């Protein structure tokens, strides 16, 4: 199973060069009026979809970029768009 | 007649339109909960809904190791009781679970790992579980195949020996629990998929399946690795779970050489010899969430390297079979056991990571109590979903697997 990931700077590289950075949860919630529930939701909670998800990656053994890609968790392959064909 | 073939249990004719409780997932946690609901609480109108077949998921893919040497006060009592249950269930289910308490040796490859083991041993001894530190010489006496010289990349500093741990035949447990549950009148519906959960006024009212609608006031989500997806997709309840593939493999059969389970956090490797003579061994988890259960050349190579570093006599042995299973990991390596919150009648038994096998029977017993009485048993209370927003994560993550020679 060859997961390759497209880094915005280095291009398409072997998945083991990267560190998975979690599901994309949108922007960090505002400090003002922040409740434990909102923070917990942002820090810990996942959708775990068996489908295409937007997620963060870090090019650990490369250029050090943080970026998002779309990946289908059922086949473990990067896909170009969030929409199912 | 001696050779007459008799089914262990018969599938029910058809899905009824109402049950007192519906259990999503015909894995070990689901089957055990169903069994104890009927046996201990007289709830017999219970359906176990399994999308594929019982034992398809983690129940049949784990490496069957059972132990009670966890790190924290909250976790250990549960696993201790689970360990004590094997002989009891073997006779109660009238099914040979092949419990083989051969003992478990965890290896330390650094001073830091030994210190961590000291704490783990203390927790076990406090709870009356046999567990002790051993020096490299005793490791060698326990497992003569080990290389305790300074040749390996991570030499052995010592270990933690836990004699009551061992192996249980996981398929036997699936079959035994299904037989026991069916005998008490539980309906096990295989090949049936849950497609929705109906909630009205914050209460569970029905479960939709591809074979029809079931009216019920009570649902248990015991879908294993798929529990988080079910929870989000059907109830919009997000869980702090990441689903990772974990791989395992067996070598060709060998003459007996390993009569304990041996494991090493630094090498990410655990191994035992099965009754058929194969070395069953497990490995890393994929570093990214996915639902594939595929295997990778990367880890076959890693596993061969780790095994032969620890036990050089295994050089040249071939892997015969390899498979993958899914582990639903939580941030604190402890499960989520909760119910009636935020939806009345909705219970969760998930987030077990790779601890789901050894804990299945005892969790089934207490979840059944929770579902039947509505009162959360003391032993399950620390595992509430709320602990994450209260910042009361458990300390199980600090157990050995994170200790490398770099600490």
The per-residue pLDDT for range B103-130, each reduced to its tens digit, is 999 999 999 899 999 999 999 999 999 9
Task: Kindly tell me if the per-residue pLDDT of B225 is higher than 90.
Answer: yes
Interface test with B, best of A2, A48, A61, A76 (most B CBs within 10 A): A48
Residue of A nearest to B237 (CA): A47
pLDDT of residue B6: 82
What share of chain B in percent tops pLDDT 90?
87
Residues of A whose CB is below 8 A from B243:
48, 73
pLDDT of residue B309: 96
CA distances from B323 to A16, A68, A72, B131 (A): 20, 30, 21, 31
Task: Kindly tell me if the per-residue pLDDT of B405 is higher than 70.
Answer: no
What string of DSSP letters covers B66-93?
Answer: E----SSTTTHHHHHHHHHHHHHHHHHT
Interface test with A, best of B194, B195, B232, B292 (most A CBs within 10 A): B292
Interface test with A, best of B225, B246, B289, B330 (most A CBs within 10 A): B289
CA dihedral B194, B196, B201, B202 (to 10 degrees): 60
Q: What is the DSSP letter of B100?
A: B
Average pLDDT over residues B313-341: 95
B103, B141 Cβ separation under 8 angstroms: no
Chain B closest CA to A7's CA: distance in Å? 16
Q: Is the ipTM of this complex over 0.90?
A: yes
| Residues whose CB falls within 8 Å of the CB of residue B1, separated by 6 or more in sequence, listed in order | none
Q: Does B287 touch chain A (CB under 8 A)?
A: yes
B59, B364 Cβ separation under 8 angstroms: no
Contact: B389, A16; criterion CB under 8 Å? no
Q: Is B149 exposed, middle or buried (0-12, 13-18, 19+ CB in 10 A)?
A: exposed
Average pLDDT over residues B57-83: 95
pTM of the model: 0.95
Q: Does B390 touch chain A (CB under 8 A)?
A: yes
């Amino acid at each position: 199973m060859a997961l390759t990931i497209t880094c915005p700077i280095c291009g398409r590289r072997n998945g083991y060069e990267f560190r998975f950075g979690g599901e994309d949860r949108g922007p960090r919630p505002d400090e003002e009026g922040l409740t434990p529930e909102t923070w917990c939701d942002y820090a810990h909670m996942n959708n775990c979809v068996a489908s295409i998800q937007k997620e963060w990656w870090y090019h650990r053994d490369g250029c050090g970029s943080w970026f998002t890609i779309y990946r289908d968790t059922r086949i473990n392959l990067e896909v170009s768009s969030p929409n199912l064909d | 007649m001696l050779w007459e073939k008799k089914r262990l249990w018969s599938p029910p004719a058809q899905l009824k339109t109402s049950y007192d409780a519906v259990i999503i997932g015909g894995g070990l946690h689901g089957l055990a909960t169903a069994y104890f609901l009927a046996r201990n609480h007289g709830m017999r109108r219970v359906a176990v809904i399994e999308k594929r077949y019982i034992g398809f998921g983690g129940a049949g893919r784990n490496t069957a190791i059972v132990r009670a040497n966890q790190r924290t006060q909250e976790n250990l009592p549960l696993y201790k009781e689970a360990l004590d249950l094997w002989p009891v269930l073997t006779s109660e289910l009238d099914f040979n679970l092949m419990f083989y308490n051969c003992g478990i040796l965890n290896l330390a490859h650094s001073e830091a790992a030994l210190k961590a083991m000291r704490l783990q041993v203390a927790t076990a001894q406090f709870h009356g579980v046999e567990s002790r530190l051993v020096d490299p010489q005793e490791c060698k006496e326990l497992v003569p195949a080990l290389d305790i010289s300074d040749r390996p990349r991570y030499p052995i500093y010592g270990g933690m020996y836990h004699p009551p741990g061992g192996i249980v035949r996981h398929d036997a447990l699936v079959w035994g629990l299904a037989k026991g549950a069916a005998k008490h009148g539980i309906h096990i519906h295989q090949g049936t998929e849950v497609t929705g959960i109906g909630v009205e006024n914050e209460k569970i009212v029905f479960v939709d399946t591809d074979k029809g609608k079931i009216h019920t006031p009570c649902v248990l989500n015991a879908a294993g690795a798929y529990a988080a997806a079910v929870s989000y997709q059907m109830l919009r309840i997000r869980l702090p779970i990441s689903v990772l593939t974990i791989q395992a493999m067996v070598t060709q059969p060998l003459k007996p050489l390993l009569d304990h389970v041996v494991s090493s956090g630094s090498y990410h490797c655990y191994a035992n010899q099965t009754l058929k003579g194969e070395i069953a061994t497990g490995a890393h988890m994929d570093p990214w969430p996915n639902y594939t259960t595929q295997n990778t050349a990367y880890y076959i190579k890693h596993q061969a390297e780790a095994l032969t570093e620890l036990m050089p006599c295994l050089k040249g042995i071939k892997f015969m079979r390899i498979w993958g299973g899914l582990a639903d990991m939580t941030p604190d390596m402890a499960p989520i056991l909760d119910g009636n919150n935020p939806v009345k009648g909705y219970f969760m038994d998930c987030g077990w990571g790779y601890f789901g096998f050894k804990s299945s029977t005892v969790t089934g017993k207490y979840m059944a109590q929770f579902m039947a009485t509505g009162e959360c048993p003391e032993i399950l209370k620390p595992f509430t979903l709320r602990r994450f927003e209260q910042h009361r994560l458990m300390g199980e993550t600090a157990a050995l697997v994170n200790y490398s020679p770099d600490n």
